[in-house]
Structure 1
């Protein structure tokens, strides 16, 4: 079963921390504990009732045996001599009888299993002398077992002791105990299995709710078109029950979220279409501005200030054209249009792109780390060139002259091609690294530089790399920054 409250960190072994137990486990254990308590209470009451019944029955038999022994052993003339109480009729096997006169025990013995009289030991006689003569039954342990004894004083000055063995009573009680234990264990086992099945079936709707929530939590809902088709099954979404009400409410929430995602997607599509259309429409006037600017520069004579102003117009139109081209590229990537892939030699691509950057930024120190053998991937050469050009341009724009920029190509241990662009500039602020690949994200204060930035370069890098089935990461600290592009090898 999925954890309904998430997956908290467990401290110590699982079974030693009840807070980490599944709800199903808790219900089963609580049910079993209650059943054990009930069985224990029933067993104790049954044992006490049986003990009381057997004791009363034994006392009744003991009273009758004592009466027979007293009547049979009565002295004929009131003296200490009299018949042996064991010779009285009706005395069963194991019966003890003795006559006590003062501190002397006479006629002490018991009937063995063969019906023959046997004498008591000195230790047993000492136990008999210690009995209270109030006629109340007491339990004592003798050499031949446990007994229920009663000492009855006669009118003739002697005491007749009569005892019956407790073996039959103890055997009956032991049988009762074993019967209760075995029946309770069997019942607990059957009830435990049946309860586990029932609890599992009862908890199944909660598991379905957990599965649905887990699936939704793993969906990429932040951007793009999301098909939120997962729902709680109808069997777990009946409003008439507690769990069903939760399932029904979860389905309503998912419907609301799905509608919101569809509305967001429609809005994003409209915005992207507007950006694509606007960018496309801006290309024509920007081309005209650049053309007329070149024409004016070639055909007209301007003052020094006029030439500077015309140059400014031309540079800004070129910057605007580059921004429009970036927006168009992002729009095409967002539409997910298939790209024609071919074999691209990353080693040659790095050498050519770094050579271009050397011309544009001779004040930086450009270094290469290349493998002995070329590394080839499947991709769009122009787009991968733009990825590398944007990363190198980013390092050039945001670091001062004298910065060392190292570009490397290698094969990773997991079979991927890795392109790294590393510089020893000022680094990127930690709070900006999480959103550095977002569109129009700019943090020029984090790295020095004089050139402006539209904030689209790294977003274009991430979009192109993802379209090629790869990933891009950034790591930075003061004095060291590295962008790593991972591309799958064919």
Structure 2
């Protein structure tokens, strides 16, 4: 039976494959991605808005500073350039303000006011930047040796150009603080929301985990045979039809109730059938014994023609076959009822030797081989039933293979200390589709294997039932040219008591 745990083992979870992630992990990640996108969008909009506001404020201050510089720096055209007023001397110019006069292609006067109110000259590189400024009232940003500036170049009525600039350092510092504030607040919010979201999602997903746990437990129950106590149910907190998950839990409980009722009905039916088989088998033993006895009496006391003797022999052989079938059915019924075993110490090695020797007498046309350990292997079990297991396995190999087939019987200890008995033949093999039902009752595939003796189809069912009653298991592997039945029994240390 395939279980959820088995599927879990065969499914390799890779973090590179999102389809293998837990649903709660994907929900948390999706929520985090959406929050990151929202925070990023809000941050970009906020930054753009603040940058626009700062630029407007700076442009107003720049327009005022440019107006003061132009009013102070204007002079008639007949004034020599060296005698014209320096716009940097205009009143009201704050720290960091830059002013310059451009006459033609040269900067006649230029400088900026530092934090102490002193004048700082501009470098030649800065002057070249000022000469390349567009004329008009449109402010532009440029990088100078003292930092980034917002500049405007205004022509005077006398042909000169007065350049005014304000530093961008305060604006950039404020915007940087805004960016870091938004990043830190967003990260903190994401961490808090991630933790809170994980807790909320885990609590929300808990009913689904309960459903999966119930389904896993049910999948591990042996529902194919025997009495099954299907007592696993979804808890009431996850099985109320008011929510989607609750509706699934409620439906699952309804399904489990239906399955439990079906299993109970099946068990009752099986019990009745087993009781009928046991009673019928027990009742048939007496008339079959009488038939065999009277047949023997007739053969010894009466005279028959050749045809009469053949018919009487046929009656005797069929009564013996019927007796064997009844005994097998009665044994299976007793095993199904779980009747206690007569447990003793059984020398498994000696048991195999004796059983193989019996088969050698019955089928001398087969090649019988033994592979035994140096030291005897013993198990705890019912010696009579274990002898029947070996007899059935060897008889199965004899009946379903041709003359000259080699049958090898081996006894060994596995790594975990279990006793292992194998019966291997080099016959034609068993069809793969029949291997899946070979231990079922009345399962026969004589057409697939070339034996000549008819069988009831109960031998391997008896083998499996006896081995399972001893706490072991039996398996078959087959291909053309090699068929092996392997049964494992607990060792003396772990066997039946």
- Aligned partner (choices 155, 160, 164) of residue 158 of structure 1: 160
CA distances 1:448-487 after superposition (whole Å, capped 9, x unpaired): 1221100000000000001001111112222222111111
Q: Match of 2:322?
A: 320
Distance in 1, Cα, partners of 2:304 & 2:124: 145
- Aligned partner (choices 384, 391, 394) of residue 392 of structure 1: 394
Secondary structure at 1:366 match in 2: strand
Give the superposed CA RMSD.
Answer: 1.8
Distance in 1, Cα, partners of 2:405 & 2:8: 46
Distance in 2, Cα, partners of 1:315 & 1:3: 52
8 A Cα contact 2:4 2:219, kept in partner? no
Alignment of 1:206-285 (within 5 A): 206-285=208-287
Secondary structure at 1:270 match in 2: helix
- Aligned partner (choices 392, 401, 404) of residue 403 of structure 2: 401
Distance in 2, Cα, partners of 1:392 & 1:20: 49
Deviation at 1:116, TM superposition (A): 0.7
Q: Match of 1:51?
A: 51
8 A Cα contact 1:78 1:156, kept in partner? no
8 A Cα contact 1:209 1:232, kept in partner? yes
Distance in 1, Cα, partners of 2:37 & 2:90: 49
Task: Between 120-129 and 374-383, report the one with greater CA deviation.
Answer: 120-129
Distance in 2, Cα, partners of 1:367 & 1:214: 46
Distance in 2, Cα, partners of 1:61 & 1:5: 75
Q: Match of 2:38?
A: 38
CA distances 1:188-222 after superposition (whole Å, capped 9, x unpaired): 00000000111111111111111111111111111
Measured at CA, do residues 438 and 30 of structure 1 come closer, stay the same or move farther in structure 2, by a change above 3 Å?
Answer: same
Alignment of 1:76-475 (within 5 A): 79=79, 80=81, 81-475=83-477
Distance in 1, Cα, partners of 2:9 & 2:137: 70
Distance in 1, Cα, partners of 2:462 & 2:313: 28
Measured at CA, do residues 432 and 77 of structure 1 come closer, stay the same or move farther in structure 2, by a change above 3 Å?
Answer: closer
8 A Cα contact 2:372 2:412, kept in partner? yes
- Aligned partner (choices 472, 489, 492) of residue 487 of structure 1: 489
Distance in 2, Cα, partners of 1:43 & 1:78: 55
Q: Match of 1:478?
A: 480
TM score, norm. by length of structure 1 = 0.96
Secondary structure at 1:453 match in 2: coil
Measured at CA, do residues 394 and 186 of structure 1 come closer, stay the same or move farther in structure 2, by a change above 3 Å?
Answer: same
8 A Cα contact 1:471 1:487, kept in partner? yes
Distance in 1, Cα, partners of 2:20 & 2:357: 60
Task: Between 303-312 and 315-324, report the one with greater CA deviation.
Answer: 303-312
Q: Match of 2:25?
A: 25
CA distances 1:339-371 after superposition (whole Å, capped 9, x unpaired): 121000011111111121122112222222222
Distance in 2, Cα, partners of 1:231 & 1:295: 65
Task: Between 43-52 and 429-438, report the one with greater CA deviation.
Answer: 429-438
Measured at CA, do residues 407 and 10 of structure 1 come closer, stay the same or move farther in structure 2, by a change above 3 Å?
Answer: closer
TM score, norm. by length of structure 2 = 0.95
Measured at CA, do residues 357 and 433 of structure 1 come closer, stay the same or move farther in structure 2, by a change above 3 Å?
Answer: same
Q: Match of 2:495?
A: none
Deviation at 1:400, TM superposition (A): 2.1
Q: Which runs of 5+ in 2 are unaligned?
A: 493-497
8 A Cα contact 2:424 2:484, kept in partner? yes
8 A Cα contact 1:237 1:247, kept in partner? yes
Measured at CA, do residues 379 and 4 of structure 1 come closer, stay the same or move farther in structure 2, by a change above 3 Å?
Answer: closer
Distance in 1, Cα, partners of 2:11 & 2:475: 31
Distance in 2, Cα, partners of 1:30 & 1:223: 46
- Aligned residue pairs total 488
Secondary structure at 1:227 match in 2: coil
